[in-house]
Amino acid sequence: MKALPWLASWFQVAPVALLLMLFFGLPMLVVLAVSFFDYGQGRLYPTFILDNYFEIFASSVTVRLYLNSLKFALIVWAVTLLIGFNIAYFLVFHVRTLLWQIGLFLLCTVPFWTSNIIRMISWIPFLGRNGIFNQTFMGLGVVSQPMEFLLFSDFAVVVAYVHLFTLFMVVPIFNSMARIDRSLIEAAYDAGAGPWRIFTEIILPLSKTGIALGSIFVITLVMGDFFVVKVMSGGQSASVASALSTEISQIQYPPAAANAIILVAVVTLMVSGILRLVDLRKELTV
Amino acid sequence: MRQAAGPRPWTFYVFASFFALFVLFLYGPMTVIYILSFQGPTGGLTFPMTGFSFRWFHALVTAERVGDIGGSFQRSIVLAVIVAVLTVVLSVAAGLAFRRRFPGSGVVFYLAIASLIMPGLFVGLGIAVGFQLLGLDIDWYTSALGAQLTWTLPYGLLIMFAVLGRFNRAYEEAATDLGATPWERMREVVLPILLPGIIGVALFGFTLSYDEFPRTVLTVGTRNTLPLEIWAMTTNVTSPALFAVGTVTTIVSFIAIGAALISIAVIQRRRTRGSGNSV
Amino acid sequence: MLSGSGNGEIRMVGVTKRFGDLAAVSDLSLTIPDKAYCCLLGPSGCGKTTILRMIAGHEEPTTGEIRIGGEPVVGLTPVQRGTAMMFQSYALFPHRSVLDNVAFSLKLRGASKADRHRQARELLAKVRMERFADRLPAQLSGGQQQRVALARALITNPRVLLLDEPLSALDEYLRLRMRGELRRVQKELGITFIHVTHTQLEAIAVADLVVVMAQGRIEQAASAREIFTTPRNAYVARFMGGQNVLSGTVESVADGQAIVVDEHGGSFSIAVNGEKPVQGSRLVGSIRRDRIAVSKAQGCAGASDKLNSLLGEVHAIEYQGSYVKVTIERPTGEGFVANVLDVDFFRDPLDIGDSVLARWSAHDVLTLEGAAYAGEASMDEAGGVLI
């Protein structure tokens, strides 16, 4: 056994590897296979046809759905980046004691550990026609009529996404920033760099990894979401994933699978684009 | 950029206010829900409050047209505990494995990352169809358990990476030097020192499972977990009972979070209580 | 299991340790007598820590034999060897009290709580830490942690104690105090200590046997006094810091003395008992820094025409309390250092830039082995050549 120390590692990692392969790797292969199946009357016919893909590419709905999803992804990415970056920056560079840092960080993180669905629907009393915003603004005389666009609209979808996913930006960026060696900043200050230069030359480049990671999280979450967009838009807006979930509920597995594969391909492209900027494994492992 | 003590720059106040707004943004809506769950018996889904009552909480327990709250709640808790335990055991083992370079380590690592990033809907789809093709029934303690593990294990692994990265191997060598076998080393030195991290993994395992929705929705079978019941309620239920459920489930989450954080804090304080006298 | 009353003599024969392509230790042979205080001395990367860990059992040699007390130990665990190690970072278990840390190995052997706590307290009393028995390591200072680490290692009754740079984490004042402590404890216990360090003065202060190492090989293994006064080669001479290295080519040989001329044109004589070096061959010697007389000189710098003397400009002056370190610049750039007694120096102080004449007597010049620089030195087990 001494000659093969990594054999022990194999034993230790085997359960996780096995589970991931069984419940992630294989299922993804199943989805791939099913995307080539034929179907009808609630039954699956294992075969190899490309019809599912043709139908998707030929449909104009597909393009619309993708544009819509990408629109959301982009907007949410930009907003969460802006907010997340500032929050992380505040926590790392303006909060002085470790205790406060941890405390405030936890304050932001705790909602993450509660139900997504609850947090999502908690916006309804806020944004509705009789909701808090409208009541407040009407009470203050800012508007004379309730603002309809607040709820069951794209606006509501974006608000919900930002509410749910900003944390995924904050944490990686916080991590990257916290690792920045303070003496670098002091050395730059010593050499005469002003706050803006320090920001652009030191802080921003060294936060790159965190920004990349956060972006990957947010984009995949938005592109893969099917319930936020359904509920918050009142069914008016659709994303690729929500169309997918409709097909699933109608037991149209092959087209759903094909859609899934294409969506995965698109998202993978986006992610690898981001990954060109950062070596994940080096950043995350021991 | 100076961190030294002294008056704070004006930018601090800007950032601080921004932060305060963000916290408000995060907690505001949830707080509204908590308040509204005490809505009076005749009240609706929004303000104004017509009174203060426990009527809607009562509704959950008596299951009047609100679905199987009790059953799904129970299943959620049990499932979350199973997932937490499995995640801890498997993540700790796998994390230890990654301290060496071994053939295939890259594959496992990227598999875990991919599993983390993949939208839950697809994983669920694959498992559900896979089970169907194999002629197996999907159920909450089989297919849903597996699906949830694909979500919690990567998180557990990442946490272990972070914790083990800071772990000083000299402790293990010292233990060996004093006569410990590998198993004694693990039991007496490594695991106790890693305990805060392990509690963190358990917390993630529990809460991620308890609140999990996309992976579970397709793989759970006929007996729902709580998030699925809530999902059904969003379309069926038009009373503040929905908010009552929200309040209850959030309390459970807070209990789990609180227990984990407090135990971690206690352990850390015991081990790093300020320095003693000089010399 | 072997106990501390066993023989603590260590023999290493032909030991090599490779890490991939890199040989940290090459074909090394060394004998450390039982009950000796041995210091492994050398710069970072010289292999001293690797040797320590191989004796401890935390690394195994690629080839070669290691015996402790006459028994081969390669493949045995540290406990089976009867060795114990004190780590550079102390590695006290943060989640256990001081008492439990010390009692740890007894707990592993199944001793009862009362028993092992009693023994641990006794040992803590020996290192004067019994007051802190219930504290956690994080509550102790560096010096205190070190004493606990010592107690923890000693409770296993080892016949060899291995110390990995035990004093480097302490501040200067504590370092000086603790090294006396270590010496005292070693004498009291009567076991072998092997102490790794990169500080020359520390090594000669505590050790019976000093092993000077470079690049995985032993340059010289001898008593502290021998290493300092009669270094074997130029590397040891330079590393220990007490000598100036002189080298040059032989011009003539007469009366058992070779006249050697160096590249600056200066000349010095070296005893060559019985041997007859060829004219033109290289010889290396050294002269102790405190055996040099320095006086102001008139005239410009250049080669002195007298044997065993040197003309130069004062490059640096460092006050060291009982002596003043005067560095004289030679044309090739290598400094020539004279340690002048403070009374002598302040009688007629020198300034930087002064022209000075440095003189020494022929019989103070040591012969060194091999060439002027390490790496060319030859490797055998014989001790230094004495005048």
pLDDT exceeds cutoff 70 at C1:
no
pLDDT exceeds cutoff 80 at C139:
yes
* Lookup result for tokens 């560096």: C142
CA–CA gap between residue C69 and residue C53 (Å, rounded): 17
CB contact under 8 A, A285 and B165: yes
CA–CA gap between residue C192 and residue C214 (Å, rounded): 23
Whole-complex ipTM: 0.85
CB–CB of B145/B154 below 8 Å? no
Backbone φ and ψ of B238, nearest 5°:
-120, 35
Give the residue numbers in B contacting C (CB under 8 Å), as ranges.
168, 170-171, 173-180, 184, 188-189, 192-193, 195, 270-279
For C143, the closest chain B residue by CA position comes to B279
Task: Give the mean model confidence (pLDDT) for residues C299-324.
Answer: 81
pLDDT band at B279 (very low <50, low <70, confident <90, very high): very low
- Tens of pLDDT along B169-193? 999 999 999 999 999 999 999 999 9
pLDDT in the model for residue A279: 65
Task: Give the mean model confidence (pLDDT) for residues B223-229.
Answer: 88
- Tens of pLDDT along C105-138? 999 999 899 999 999 999 999 889 999 999 999 9
pLDDT exceeds cutoff 80 at B263:
yes
Residue B52: strand, helix, or coil: strand
pLDDT in the model for residue B277: 38
Task: Give the mean model confidence (pLDDT) for residues B3-13.
Answer: 75
CB–CB of C27/C16 below 8 Å? yes
Q: Which residue has the higher pLDDT, C310 or B50?
A: C310
- Tens of pLDDT along A215-231? 999 999 999 998 898 88
CB–CB of C78/C85 below 8 Å? yes
Contacts of C79 in chain B (CB under 8 A): 177-179
Contacts of C60 in chain B (CB under 8 A): none
Which chain A residues in 199-238 lie under 8 Å from chain B, judged by CB atoms? 216-217, 220-221, 223-227, 231
Which chain A residues in 47-76 lie under 8 Å from chain B, judged by CB atoms? none
Neighbouring residues of C253: CB distance < 8 A, sequence distance ≥ 6: C259, C272, C276, C277, C279
Nearest-Cα distance to chain B for C141, in Å, is 6
Which helix (H) or strand (E) segment holds residue C186: the answer is helix C172-189
CB contact under 8 A, B274 and C141: no
CB–CB of C268/C365 below 8 Å? yes
For B120, the closest chain A residue by CA position comes to A224
pTM over 0.80: yes
* Averaged pLDDT of chain B: 86
Nearest alpha-carbon partner for C242 in C257, C260, C224, C267: C224
CA–CA gap between residue C268 and residue A43 (Å, rounded): 103
CB contact under 8 A, A28 and B123: yes
- Which chains neighbour A (Cβ–Cβ under 8 Å, 3 or more pairs)? B
For A25, the closest chain B residue by CA position comes to B111
CB contact under 8 A, A113 and B115: no
pLDDT exceeds cutoff 60 at B274:
no
Residues in chain A where the model's pLDDT stays below 70 = 1-3, 42, 277-286
Neighbouring residues of A61: CB distance < 8 A, sequence distance ≥ 6: A243
Task: Give the mean model confidence (pLDDT) for residues B123-142.
Answer: 88
Backbone φ and ψ of C198, nearest 5°:
-115, 10
CB–CB of B221/B140 below 8 Å? yes
pLDDT band at C384 (very low <50, low <70, confident <90, very high): very low
Nearest-Cα distance to chain B for A123, in Å, is 6
CA-based R_g, chain B, Å = 23
pLDDT in the model for residue A2: 52
